[in-house]
């Protein structure tokens, strides 16, 4: 059997397939964790510990010894996307109830859902797209996108938008595993390689644990809204990112559009933030479902739209640099 190959054919499949399995478990066997207890319960309910190890390993993969072009591209895209996410979250907070919209097409939409969907880029998807349509330096620009992983940026955005207040020690706690991994990975390249192997390995485990926080009845109610949210993420973040890549990054906009996706890891943020800020608990389940659907939607649409855009730009400028194939064969998928 070729289970892994089949999963890889699904956009974001390494995260989404276990998440769906976990949601099936939650929907039809909600008692499974408490019934089996012990390690099985740990797999079902251990989102926090599993994600903590994943953040640590993710931090260890970041190598500061990158070229200036790569750092400029990375910083440009990360800063612009964060600012756009902050602006969108601020606007959403003015018009949407904290617990989320309760009915209609926008059911489940909340400042929490908007923030989680917009503030993280699928770094692996970006690297794969730019490996095909961009230069080696543009492909490598995913290096700083890992900083967006985890709840820290979402917490900063929600705090700056006036939606929530977090104690300083919670910010430290959210980023500390990442920073320790980052430190060790840069002190010893062997440790970077060693811990880096755990990034993809852990994704299905926290995907399954996250799924066990989702009732499929909620997904049925918010599925269309999740697709709509994915389209909104591409439109709202894509245009500023294209402009930033052209004006600041020195590119033709392709890298900006390729960075307009929602990351699979963002699915974890609503639940994590709700644990730290209980006022978000009523919105967390629906936000998780929406972000999961938005992630899948952007994973399908962003490569298609970027390919169309890249071919258009190449037709306008046929002497542009030829893409470098194989630049990032081992890019980490978010």
**94 within a domain of the structure (yes/no):** yes
Could you list the residue range(s) of the whole structural domain that residue 95 is in? 3-316
Half-sphere exposure of 60 (CA within 13 A, CB side): 23
Quick one: pLDDT at residue 195?
93
For helices 281-316 and 216-247, give the axis angle rounded to 10 degrees: 40
Cα–Cα distance, 45 to 39 (Å, whole number): 10
Residue with tokens 């059997």: 1
- 325 in a structural domain: no
Q: What is the pLDDT of residue 333?
A: 43
pLDDT at 330: 41
pLDDT digits (tens, 9 = 90+) for 120-162: 887 767 876 776 777 666 655 666 676 676 787 888 899 888 8
Residue 192 near residue 29, CB atoms below 8 Å: no
CATH code of the domain covering residue 38: 1.20.1530
Residue 140: the pLDDT is: 59
Q: Let me know if residue 168 belongs to a domain.
A: yes
Nearest to 145 by CA among 125, 129, 127, 121: 121
In a domain, 331, yes or no: no
**Quick one: pLDDT at residue 175?**
75
Domain-located, residue 326? no
Within-domain flag for 137:
yes
pLDDT of residue 67: 55
Look at the chain and report how many structural domains it folds into: 1
Say what the pLDDT of residue 23 is: 82
Write the DSSP string, 172-193.
HHHHHHHHHHHHHHHH-HHHHH
| Tokens representing residue 117 in the block | 């969907």
pLDDT given at position 144: 66
pLDDT of residue 264: 74
The two three-digit tokens of residue 301, written as one number: 């649409």
Whole-number pLDDT of residue 113? 94
- Evaluate whether residue 334 is within a structural domain: no
Question: Any idea what the Cα angle at residue 179 is, between residues 175 and 185, rounded to 5°?
Answer: 150
In a domain, 329, yes or no: no
pLDDT at 334: 46
Residue 135's H or E segment, with its range, is none
Q: What pTM was computed for the model?
A: 0.71
Q: b/e for 94-111, b at 16 or more Cβ within 10 A?
A: eebeebbbeeeebbbbbb
pLDDT of residue 238: 95
Which residue ranges of the chain lie beneath pLDDT 50? 321-334
Element (H, E) at 12: none
């Amino acid at each position: 059997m070729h289970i892994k190959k089949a999963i890889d054919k699904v956009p974001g499949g390494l995260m989404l397939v276990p998440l769906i399995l976990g949601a099936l478990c939650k929907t039809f066997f909600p008692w499974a964790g408490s019934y089996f207890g012990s390690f099985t319960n740990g797999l079902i309910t251990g989102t926090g510990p599993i994600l903590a190890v994943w953040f640590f390993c993710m931090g260890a993969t970041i190598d500061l010894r990158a070229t200036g072009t790569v750092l400029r591209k990375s910083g440009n895209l990360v800063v612009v996307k964060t600012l756009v996410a902050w602006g969108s979250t601020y606007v959403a907070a003015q018009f949407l109830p904290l617990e989320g919209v309760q009915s209609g097409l926008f059911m489940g939409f909340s400042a929490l859902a908007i923030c989680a969907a917009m503030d993280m880029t699928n770094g692996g998807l970006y690297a794969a797209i730019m490996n095909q349509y961009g230069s080696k330096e543009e492909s490598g620009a995913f290096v700083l996108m890992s900083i967006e992983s985890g709840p820290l940026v979402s917490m900063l955005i929600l705090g700056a938008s006036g939606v929530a207040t977090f104690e300083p020690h919670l910010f430290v706690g959210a980023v500390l595993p990442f920073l320790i991994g980052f430190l060790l990975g840069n002190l010893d390249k062997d440790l970077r390689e060693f811990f880096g192997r755990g990034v993809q390995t852990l994704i299905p485990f926290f995907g399954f644990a996250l799924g066990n926080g989702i009732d499929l009845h909620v997904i049925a109610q918010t599925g269309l809204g999740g697709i709509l949210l994915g389209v909104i993420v591409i439109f709202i973040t894509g245009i500023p990112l294209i402009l930033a890549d052209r004006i600041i990054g020195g590119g033709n906009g392709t890298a900006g559009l390729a960075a307009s996706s929602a990351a699979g890891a963002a699915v974890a943020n609503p639940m994590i933030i709700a644990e730290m800020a209980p006022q978000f608990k009523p919105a967390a389940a629906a936000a998780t479902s929406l972000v999961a659907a938005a992630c899948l939607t952007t994973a399908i649409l962003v490569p298609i739209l970027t390919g169309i855009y890249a071919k258009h730009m190449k037709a306008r400028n046929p002497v542009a640099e030829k893409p470098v194939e194989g630049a990032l064969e081992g890019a980490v998928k978010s």
